[in-house]
């Protein structure tokens, strides 16, 4: 009997749906026992978000400052799992506060030390550098990353910003203003995520995960877009500066967070289209210097 643990946190339910879809083949296999563990915060985050709360979570999210979580059930802590599938959403180019808080807790050490882990992200589209941060968190727990699935909104970057804002601030995963596509990971991709479970299953049965990531990538598990990684890198540099300025000035926090909000809107709609055009023109040259290696890195584990 093989034992698999699915760990997740989800505000809208999207990541939970993804987890349950991936888990389907495991639950149907007679020789596999499946457990779910939902991370629960002591101080929960609002959903839908208000604009103030949304931007106010930025500094602590980016600086990966953990908060208190409720302990997992004793059974989860006591079971010796053969595989753990850790689901996370990206907040501000970083694993979300709930997942970061779990990963930095003693519970994570207890559950994950010495275990093979598959990571699954359900983000808008900018997940790459958050995955690098996740790798560090996993290493700190003594876990081994054996696979990664990065599910995203496949629509154009600027469209997905409009639709996610509507989703986060209304709490409804709907066609914004009646004309935009639905936000987030598509219903079809969520429903079909069980194919990843099918792929992982034989590796679990053999307790050998070599070659798993290549098989997952062949199934479209990783959405690598060179321009998004480039924006992610630039965003991380700017976010480092913004987050430390805000945290060093608690008295002026409200005003600085408002300024940060305007900066983000300007960066997305003012700067990014220009940078996109320049990088598109340079693509053939930069591909051999940078993107080829980068693609291999993000499609790997």
Ligand X SMILES: Cc1cc2nc3c(=O)[nH]c(=O)nc-3n(C[C@H](O)[C@H](O)[C@H](O)COP(=O)(O)O)c2cc1C
What is the binding site for ligand X (CB under 6 A)? 10-12, 14-15, 54, 57, 89-93, 122-127, 164, 168, 184
Q: By C-beta, is 188 or 251 nearer to ligand X?
A: 188
Q: By C-beta, is 9 or 107 nearer to ligand X?
A: 9
CB of 153 to ligand X, least distance (A): 8
Q: How many CA atoms lie within 13 A of 261 on its CB side?
A: 15
CB of 225 to ligand X, least distance (A): 11
Cα(259)–Cα(210) distance, integer angstroms? 47
Q: By C-beta, is 99 or 212 nearer to ligand X?
A: 99
CB of 119 to ligand X, least distance (A): 13
Q: By C-beta, is 123 or 204 nearer to ligand X?
A: 123
CB of 249 to ligand X, least distance (A): 21
Residue showing the smallest CB distance to ligand X in the complex: 12
CB of 267 to ligand X, least distance (A): 12
Q: By C-beta, is 119 or 125 nearer to ligand X?
A: 125
Cα(94)–Cα(277) distance, integer angstroms? 26
Output the CA torsion 295→240→60→71 (10° steps). 40
Cα(24)–Cα(44) distance, integer angstroms? 28
């Amino acid at each position: 009997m093989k034992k698999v643990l699915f760990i997740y946190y989800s505000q809208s339910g999207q990541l939970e749906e993804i987890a349950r879809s991936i888990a389907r083949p495991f639950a149907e296999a007679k020789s596999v026992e499946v457990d779910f563990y939902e991370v629960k915060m002591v101080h929960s985050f609002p959903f839908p978000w208000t604009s103030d709360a949304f931007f106010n979570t930025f500094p602590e999210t980016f600086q990966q400052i953990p908060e208190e979580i409720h302990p997992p059930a004793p059974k989860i802590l006591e079971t010796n799992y053969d595989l753990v599938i850790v689901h996370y959403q990206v907040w501000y180019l970083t694993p979300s506060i709930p997942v970061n808080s779990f990963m930095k807790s003693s519970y994570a050490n207890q559950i994950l030390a010495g275990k093979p882990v598959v990571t699954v992200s359900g983000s808008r589209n900018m997940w790459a550098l958050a995955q690098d941060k996740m790798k560090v968190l996993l290493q700190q727990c003594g876990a081994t990353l054996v696979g990664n699935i990065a599910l995203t909104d496949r629509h154009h970057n600027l469209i997905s910003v409009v639709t996610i804002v509507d989703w986060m601030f209304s709490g409804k995963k709907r066609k914004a203003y009646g004309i935009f596509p639905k936000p987030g990971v598509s219903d079809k991709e969520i429903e079909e995520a069980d194919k990843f479970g099918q792929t992982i299953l034989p590796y679990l049965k053999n307790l050998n995960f070599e070659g798993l990531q290549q098989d997952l990538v062949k199934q479209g598990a990783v959405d690598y877009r060179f321009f998004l990684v480039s924006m992610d890198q630039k965003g991380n540099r700017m976010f480092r500066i913004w987050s430390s300025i805000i945290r060093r000035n608690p008295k002026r926090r409200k005003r600085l967070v408002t300024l940060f909000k305007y900066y983000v809107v300007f960066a997305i709609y003012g700067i990014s289209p220009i940078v996109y055009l320049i990088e598109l023109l340079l693509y053939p040259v930069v591909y051999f210097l940078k993107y080829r290696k980068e693609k291999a890195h993000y499609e790997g584990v």
